Structure 1
Amino acid sequence: MFNNFDFSVILPSLPYIWEGLMFSFRLTVTAMLGGIIIGTLLALARLSGGKTLGFAAKTYVDLMRSVPLLMMILWFFLLAPFFIKITPETSALITFTLFQAAFYSEIMRAGIQSIPRGQINASFAIGMTYWQTMGYVILPQAFRNMIPVLLTQTFILFQDTSLVYAIGATDLLKAADNTGKLYGRTVEMLIFVSLIYFVICFSLSMFVKYMNKRIAIIR
């Protein structure tokens, strides 16, 4: 079955694969951190009770969650050059961060709402403001409760990084495709990166299961 395959091309391709993998990791970490920060602010805005702020945050979240990520990647990449000079990699970083913020927002909103309302009322009773209550009392608990879900969203995010292939950004998949074409062994390289994706995502899923058990013990 594998007589016609030549996996010897993998070794000379490793520097290119490593470069693509590092960009995929950088894209994942940037979108995760930026998404959590922006998403938390969006969640707080929606729960603040302010009509204008809440409506704006809800509109943003609903819009982002209603559009396929691939279309958002293409739209931003094609429209951004009319306003600023931008590389495919930078375009991907911005798009992923803004898109993922909507999903992290819903996760954080659920985490905040999982905290008993009595804690909020008690904080208000001792003179704390809404933002102080959220920063010192509610968010630390919400983050702890949401760790497994946040990690699950993050490894889904890592899988989605392969979509930047559409705009020519050199992620793990694009690096494999480029080296495969260079050596005339595209199938072998795609099989190799598929194994890389599997190992990373399987390891992350095991870590999520471990964190689920840890959170359950703490509770």
Structure 2
Amino acid sequence: MELKGLEVIYNNLSYMMWGNFPGGIFLTLLMSFAAIIVSTLLGILAGVGLTVLKGTVRYLLVGILGFLRAIPVIMLIFWTYFLLPVLLNVDVPAIATVICALSLIGAAYIGHSVHAGMIAVAKDQWQAAFSLGLTKKQVILFIILPQALKMMLPSFVNQWVSLIKDTSLAYIVGVAEFTFIATQVNNRSMVYPTEIFLFVIVVYFIICASLDFAVSILPKCRLFHSK
């Protein structure tokens, strides 16, 4: 990197961090965190549904998840931005529509991961739990689901990282996330695109690597070990 390029990044660091608040790196982190939480909760519910539901309801759920996995993320963001205000009859902030779209996409993938983890648990454990007098809800909540989540944690991380990167697609509805702000900075300077977008790459790498590291130490926590 040229020193002038580094100077451009330094001079615009605050703007790239916050934008016209909320924006920039802060907004990327905010949308990523919200989408990860919501998609994980919805994905767990979808995974349990795929495991326990039967008949028409299960086929409907499979169809919805398949549809969400099939369409491009950028199109789902675009249509969510225009569809949600019509359905709710209120003005929905663009940030909320992006979080909603990313959450639905993430939930579709996480749901199938949870389902795979639950059916991978030995059938003997289901039978043993039922023989102890536990209800189906108790078996899923306290025995099967914790094992499945621990087993599928690496798959979850892959999806969470994808969600973080997909926040960069929010530009289509004018959300001033990090790459949008970096593009604005580049358009003003016009001569240091390499330095500016290498900085973008480094920031995304740090965010995703930090998430990966944080999750990698979870299995060592007492929470993930049975007594």
> Which bracket does the TM-score occupy, shorter chain normalised?
0.7 to 0.9
**What letter is aligned with 2:135?**
T
Q: Give the Cα–Cα distance (whole angstroms) in 2 for the partners of residues 126 and 213 of structure 1.
A: 28
Quick one: which of 79, 82, 95 aligns to 1:75?
A: 79
Map 1:118-157 → 2, pairs under 5 A: 118-157=124-163
Q: Which residue of 2 aligns with 1:170?
A: 176
Q: Which residue of 1 aligns with 2:70?
A: 66
| Identity within the alignment, % | 25
Gaps of 5+ in 1: none
Q: Which residue of 2 aligns with 1:32?
A: 36
Q: Give the Cα–Cα distance (whole angstroms) in 1 for the partners of residues 191 and 57 of structure 2.
A: 53
Residue by residue, what CA displacement relative to the aligned partner does 1:116-140 show, whole Å, maximum 9, x if unpaired? 1111112222222222110011111
Q: Residues 45 and 53 of structure 1 are in contact (CA less than 8 Å); yes or no, is this contact kept in structure 2?
A: no
Moved more, 151-160 or 75-84: 75-84
Q: Give the Cα–Cα distance (whole angstroms) in 2 for the partners of residues 118 and 51 of structure 1.
A: 24
Q: Which residue of 2 aligns with 1:45?
A: 49
Q: Give the Cα–Cα distance (whole angstroms) in 1 for the partners of residues 171 and 41 of structure 2.
A: 26
Q: Residues 77 and 98 of structure 2 are in contact (CA less than 8 Å); yes or no, is this contact kept in structure 1?
A: yes
Residue by residue, what CA displacement relative to the aligned partner does 1:20-71 show, whole Å, maximum 9, x if unpaired? 1121112112111111111111111111143233122211111101111111
Alpha-carbon deviation of 1:183?
A: 4.0
SS in 1 for 2:134: coil
Alpha-carbon deviation of 1:74?
A: 0.9
Q: Residues 5 and 196 of structure 2 are in contact (CA less than 8 Å); yes or no, is this contact kept in structure 1?
A: no
Q: Which residue of 1 aligns with 2:119?
A: 113
- 1:54 pairs with 2:54: no
Q: Give the Cα–Cα distance (whole angstroms) in 1 for the partners of residues 62 and 135 of structure 2.
A: 23
- CA gap of 1:186–1:162, structure 2 versus 1, over 3 A, is farther
Q: Residues 124 and 133 of structure 1 are in contact (CA less than 8 Å); yes or no, is this contact kept in structure 2?
A: yes
Q: Which residue of 2 aligns with 1:192?
A: 199
**What letter is aligned with 1:191?**
L
Moved more, 97-106 or 14-23: 14-23
**Pairwise CA RMSD:** 2.6
Q: Give the Cα–Cα distance (whole angstroms) in 2 for the partners of residues 202 and 45 of structure 1.
A: 32
Q: Which residue of 1 aligns with 2:7?
A: 8
Q: Which residue of 1 aligns with 2:26?
A: 22
Aligned residue pairs total 215
Q: How does the TM-score come out when normalised to structure 2?
A: 0.83
